[in-house]
Amino acid sequence: MINESRRGFMGKAFGAVAAVGAVASLVAMKKSWDPLPSVMAAGFTTVDLSKFTGNKLEIVKWQGKPIFILKMAADMPSVEKRSVKVGDNYYSVMIGLCTHLGCIPAYRDTTHDFKCACHGGEFDAAGVHKFGPPPRPLDIPPFTIKDGNTIVLGEAGAEYKALIASLSTDINKA
Amino acid sequence: MFALYVGLAVAILLIVLNIVLSKLSFPKEGRILAIIVVLVGYIYWGFEPFAHHEMHPHVEDASYAFDGKQDIEALEHAGKDATETKAFWASMAKIAEHKGDAVAGKALVTANCTGCHSIKAEGFAEVMSDADAAVSYGVTPPDLSIAGRVYDRNFLIAFIANPVKAMHIEHKYPVGGEKVFPMPASDFMQPQEIADMVAYLADAASKVPAPKVKEGASEFEISKAANKEVFETACVRCHAMNYAGIQAKTSADAMSKYIGATPPDLSQYIRSRGDHYLHNFINDPQRKLPGTGMPRVGLNEKAQTQVVEYMTQIGDSKKDEREALGPKVLIYLTILAIFALLWKQKIWRDLH
Amino acid sequence: MAEFEKANSIGEWFDQRLNVKAFTKVMMTEYWIPKEINFLWAMGALLVMLFKLLIITGIFLLMYYKPDVNMAFDSVNYTIMQEVGYGWLFRNIHGVGASVVFLIIYIHMFTAIYYGSYKKGREMIWLSGMLLFVLFSAEGFSGYMLPWGQMSYWAAYVITEIFGGIPFIGGDLVIWIRGNFYVADATLTRFFMLHVLLIPVVLIGAIAFHFYTLRFPHVNNEEGEFFDYKKESEKYLAGDKANSKVIAFWPDFLSKDFMVIAIFMIFFFYLVFYNNGFAMDPVNFDKADGMKTPAHIYPEWYFLWSYEVLRGFFFEIGGISGKDLGLMAFGFAQGIFLVLPWLDRSPMVKPANQRPVFKYWFWLLMADLFVLTIFGKLPPTGINAYVGFFASTTFLGLFISLPFLSKIEAKIVGGK
Ligand code: HEM
Ligand code: FES
């Protein structure tokens, strides 16, 4: 009997040690699927805003996504709520993927709004949905302002946090 | 809603079908097969033809009249003023009534066109390299050797008079706008003069011999070479055809300044768009894709067919092989199925 | 080791070493199948055939395919389609095969549901079949990414994005799956590995397991009849084949399977040569471009019904956003078929049309899946969105009510 239970115990102990090895190797396998350091390092995009003109949409690529940066012209309706002030100007900074099903809306400079060709959704210059199927405004990517006139996408700076905080949660669920 | 009813209708239909077939003492397996065929056919109809019909609204087929009818309709449809466009195309129709004189036309073309355009077949060489031309004009001007054969006569008349209107790209080059189309309008010229120039282009084109091919080239090669010549004149100033080793004459950079977009490589367009779409699109891009930077190029029916055929010869180069092999494989499989059937019957004879 | 006699023939030589004769009996000539079956029972053999076609054509594609975002598209559309001898044929067979395999899987699954072949001892068959369905779905999804066209990219984008809805870990999980913030080279190479190695290997194992689960409960028959296999097989072996309720796997059953396969192949190759657009979407002949979305994004037809369940909930209910509701419904739809044997609480094993309650349930489910599939491709605007919502809730309702409905049926038929 003693022998029996000892064998049972040794068997279980062996199983436990083997399980530790198996779990440890899973950690290594999981790691191998992580984004590479070079990918993580490329997760930031720096944009110089000094050459921007009002009412002209610029599209930059950040983490593979199109980012809309729109400098507000003087005559454009006030959309301070969702825009950031850099220097003396207001800018809309948004992820350019329709919140409906992910198409890339086009900017219409005559009407100061975005039109999504896929199912007819419309957003105003600040990215707030005003017509059609999109359920919420265009998302805002994390950004920070550097050296007065440069914006770095991918890093959540004070301006970004302030902006997000000022928005009621229901109009901007990122 | 409509399809929901159709869905329910099919379910009911199946039940009825089932009952009717059983009353007719139709063999059971045949009944099951009939039901499956109906169901599979219905689902296929739903996600292919029906979905296409819903997602891609029908537009009218290509028209080679080049009389502005489509443009006027489009304006009227959008509730815009079409008087000016109507007047323009009416005056074009007047010009078209004049019979052109090629000899007079030659003098006019030499004086007015060869400063920018080459006509290699007639000995007018290029003024500068493609790259330099793209810088000076925004886009490389086309060689006019076969223009008279490739472009429709009405279109050429309208084009010389007012390129922007003829190409239906007023939205890119609005009157009084910041950007000016590189080729000036010549609507100040006499109708007879315009008709003469077009006559000369047609005459010059008719003298250009068929492109050279290797000794003993197959019919496929000969037609491909002829089609390629048209494709190069009509499309290659802006588009590449990578799978044929053809680069666009104007660089992507210059193009994006010129029309605000980079024209795509056309290698796989026969697969991604299909020949029906291509015919309609090339004929009048604005109708299929409002706002596109691609101008109406004004190809006549024959040239356009050649262009689409060339896209097939490059982008679906094994089409002939596929179509030749298809029937053979299907015949073979039918024979195989007959043998399989006979063998099965032999085995199952003992089982019943 | 036992003594080996000198063999008198090649057959005997092998028999001594591999016990070929006994093995053939167990696996082929004395593996018993009921006689009362129709051609729907040939779908399994047909699936094996299609799987073989996929593997063989896949091997040939593999010789020229390049898993790299800069080369993948041209390696498929130029090298394989225009240059390699019969490369177009291999690709068409592979593409059409991948699509049609799902048609046959669905017919196979719904045959099982119709005849009640998932209960009373056949639960493991059903579970292993569902495992195959999941694996095939993963294989189809990973393969669709490889040609790196616009639909490859955006379907991969949208589907991987779904995982972002999982609470807390969603965002990181998406990046982990992709190996990047978006669908990128790392995504392509890892899905390539899954598509050509890991999943096919597991699939082969799962197919073997599926066959194993069939062995003891035996396949069902057209009338759902349970009978004594020993008695019936003895009849057969004694030569009374006509009166026996069983037939042998080889040659009886397979001769019919081969016939069905041969006839099906006529249809299949018709699609390969003349009508392959449904399997090789035209949009996918535009190269992937993360900065340009196609006008409509939709998955392959066989995923449309579950995609529509995902989209069906487009408004908030009780404080839960439409997106989260859709995700929950989607999770439900993915898992629910798995537990079907335990949802159906009626003991009756009969064709659906002979079951007093189940028949309505079955045909309603079919109609609902059809509506979901068709609307899954259409843009979800206007009335379409409401049809989607209605069909999705019907789907959930059908499965939630099945235990109760089948209990009622159990009462009616009195435990039979
Ligand atoms: C088991 C079932 C399989 C399914 C359902 C499947 C599905 C698919 C699909 C949907 C595609 C994209 C089709 C296209 O657009 O051409 C594809 C491509 C591909 N598959 Fe498979 N496949 C299977 C097995 C295999 C196997 C076993 C291999 C290799 C040993 C393989 C190798 C490839 C390769 C190299 C491609 C890329 C070439 C291409 O896109 O045409 N596949 N597969
Ligand atoms: S994706 Fe923009 S409206 Fe549907």
Q: Summarize pLDDT for A18-50 with one digit per residue, the tens.
A: 999 999 999 999 999 999 999 988 889 999 998
Ligand (nearest to CA of A120): 2
Q: Which of B24-28, B37-41, C225-229 has the lowest mean pLDDT?
A: B24-28
Mean pLDDT for chain B? 89
Query: Is the pLDDT assigned to residue A169 strictly greater than 70?
Result: no
Query: Is the pLDDT assigned to residue A131 strictly greater than 90?
Result: no
φ and ψ of C120, to 5 deg: 55, 60
CB of A101 within 8 Å of a chain C CB? The answer is yes
**Distance from C-alpha of C325 to C-alpha of B78, rounded to nearest angstrom:** 40
In chain B, the residue whose alpha carbon lies closest to the alpha carbon of C383 is B1
Question: What are the pLDDT digits (tens) for C29-53?
Answer: 999 999 999 999 999 999 999 999 9
**Distance from C-alpha of B277 to C-alpha of C194, rounded to nearest angstrom:** 36
Residue nearest to atom 13 of ligand 1 (CA): C95
Over residues A67-93, mean pLDDT: 82
pLDDT value of position A172: 42
pLDDT value of position A170: 43
pLDDT value of position C166: 86
Mean pLDDT for chain C? 94
**Distance from C-alpha of B319 to C-alpha of B326, rounded to nearest angstrom:** 10
In Å, how far are B13, B79, C176 from A39, measured between CA atoms?
56, 51, 12
Query: Is the pLDDT assigned to residue B21 strictly greater than 50?
Result: yes
> Which of the 8 DSSP states describes residue A82?
G
Model confidence band, residue A2 (pLDDT cutoffs 50, 70, 90): low
Over residues B44-53, mean pLDDT: 91
The residue that leads in pLDDT, B170 or C62, is: C62
pLDDT value of position A171: 45
How far away, in angstroms, is C63 Cα from ligand 1 center? 12
Over residues C249-270, mean pLDDT: 96
Q: Which residues of A touch C150 (CB under 8 A)?
A: none
pLDDT value of position A78: 59
pLDDT value of position A77: 67
- Closest in A102, A120, A132 to C158, CB measured: A102
Question: What are the pLDDT digits (tens) for C356-405?
Answer: 999 999 999 999 999 999 999 998 878 888 999 999 999 999 999 999 99
Nearest of A36, A104, A96, A26 to residue C187 by alpha carbon: A36
Query: Is the pLDDT assigned to residue B231 strictly greater than 90?
Result: yes
Pocket lining: A104 vs ligand 2, CB cutoff 6 Å: no
Are the Cβ atoms of C82 and B347 closer than 8 angstroms?
no
Q: Which of B169-183, B239-253, B338-352, C57-71 has the lowest mean pLDDT?
A: B169-183
Strand A45-48 to A65-71 pairing: unpaired
Which residues have C-beta within 8 Å of that of residue C362, sequence separation ≥ 6?
C113, C114, C352
Pocket lining: A134 vs ligand 2, CB cutoff 6 Å: yes
**H or E element: which one contains A131?**
strand A129-131
Which residue in the block uniquely carries the two structure tokens 């089609």?
Answer: B227
**Distance from C-alpha of C351 to C-alpha of B204, rounded to nearest angstrom:** 78
Q: Which chains touch A (3 or more CB pairs under 8 A)?
A: C
**Distance from C-alpha of B135 to C-alpha of B131, rounded to nearest angstrom:** 6
Model confidence band, residue C224 (pLDDT cutoffs 50, 70, 90): very high
pLDDT value of position B250: 87
Model confidence band, residue A83 (pLDDT cutoffs 50, 70, 90): confident
**Distance from C-alpha of C210 to C-alpha of B254, rounded to nearest angstrom:** 61
Specify the 3-state DSSP secondary structure of C314: coil
In Å, how far are A137, A174, C327 from A169, measured between CA atoms?
11, 9, 21
pLDDT value of position A84: 85
Q: How many CB atoms are located within 10 Å of the residue C183 CB?
A: 28
The answer to whether the Cα torsion of C189, C178, A152, A69 is positive or negative is positive
pLDDT value of position B25: 63
Ligand 1 mutation target, pool C195, C196, C280, C284, most atoms within 8 A of CB = C195
Burial of C238 from C-beta contacts in 10 A (0-12 / 13-18 / 19+): exposed
Are the Cβ atoms of A104 and C380 closer than 8 angstroms?
no
Residue A41's Cβ-side half-sphere holds a number of Cα atoms within 13 Å equal to: 3
* pTM exceeding the 0.95 threshold for the entire prediction: no
Nearest of C365, A159, A130, A78 to residue B8 by alpha carbon: C365
For chain B positions 123-182, those within 8 Å of chain C (CB to CB) are: none
CB of C397 within 8 Å of a chain B CB? The answer is no
Mean pLDDT for chain A? 85
Nearest of C320, C392, C305 to residue C106 by alpha carbon: C305
Query: By percentage, how much of chain C surpasses pLDDT 90?
Result: 84
Are the Cβ atoms of B11 and C77 closer than 8 angstroms?
no
Over residues B297-322, mean pLDDT: 96
CB of B348 within 8 Å of a chain C CB? The answer is yes
CB of A120 within 8 Å of a chain C CB? The answer is yes
Are the Cβ atoms of A39 and C180 closer than 8 angstroms?
yes
Query: Tokens for C71?
Result: 């080369």
Model confidence band, residue A174 (pLDDT cutoffs 50, 70, 90): very low
Ligand (nearest to CA of C295): 2
Burial of A45 from C-beta contacts in 10 A (0-12 / 13-18 / 19+): middle
Specify the 3-state DSSP secondary structure of C80: helix
Of ligand 2's listed atoms, the one at least distance from the Cα of A103 is 1
SS3 letters for chain B? Answer: CHHHHHHHHHHHHHHHHHHHHHHCCCCHHHHHHHHHHHHHHHHHHHHHHHHHHHHCCCCCCCCCCCCCHHHHHHHHHCCCCCHHHHHHHHHHHHHHHCCCCHHHHHHHHHHHCCCCCCEHHHCECCCCCHHHHHHHHCCCCCCCCCHHHHECHHHHHHHHHCHHHHHCCCCCCCCCCCCCCCCCCCCCCCHHHHHHHHHHHHHHHHHCCCCCCCCCCCHHHHHHHHHHHHHHHHCCCCCCEHHHCECCCCCHHHHHHHHCCCCCCCCCHHHHCHHHHHHHHHHCHHHHCCCCCCCCCCECHHHHHHHHHHHHHHHCCCHHHHHHHHHHHHHHHHHHHHHHHHHHHHHHHCCC
For residue C380, cis peptide bond before it (omega within 30 degrees of 0): no
Residues pairing with C34 in the sheet: C246
Specify the 3-state DSSP secondary structure of A91: strand
CB of B252 within 8 Å of a chain C CB? The answer is no
Are the Cβ atoms of C296 and A118 closer than 8 angstroms?
yes
The residue that leads in pLDDT, C18 or B187, is: C18
Smallest CA–CA distance, residue B241 to chain C, in Å, is 12
CB of C102 within 8 Å of a chain B CB? The answer is no
pLDDT value of position C236: 95
Ligand 2 mutation target, pool A68, A94, A95, A98, most atoms within 8 A of CB = A98
Interface pTM, i.e. ipTM: 0.93
Model confidence band, residue A173 (pLDDT cutoffs 50, 70, 90): very low
Burial of B60 from C-beta contacts in 10 A (0-12 / 13-18 / 19+): exposed
Query: Is the pLDDT assigned to residue C125 strictly greater than 60?
Result: yes
The residue that leads in pLDDT, C294 or B269, is: B269
pLDDT value of position C358: 95
CA dihedral A112, A117, A120, A121 (to 10 degrees): -60
Query: Tokens for A109?
Result: 């400079």
Query: Is the pLDDT assigned to residue C253 strictly greater than 70?
Result: yes
Burial of A116 from C-beta contacts in 10 A (0-12 / 13-18 / 19+): buried
CA A30, A32, A38: angle at the middle one, nearest 5? 130
Most C CBs within 10 Å, among B271, B331, B334, to test the C interface: B271
Answer for the pair C364, C398: CB distance below 8 angstroms, yes or no.
yes
> Which of the 8 DSSP states describes residue C166?
S
**Distance from C-alpha of C253 to C-alpha of C411, rounded to nearest angstrom:** 37
**Angle between helix C150-162 and helix C170-178 axes, rounded to 10 deg:** 150
The residue that leads in pLDDT, C387 or B22, is: C387
**Distance from C-alpha of B114 to C-alpha of B125, rounded to nearest angstrom:** 8
Question: What are the pLDDT digits (tens) for B60-84?
Answer: 788 999 998 988 988 888 888 889 9
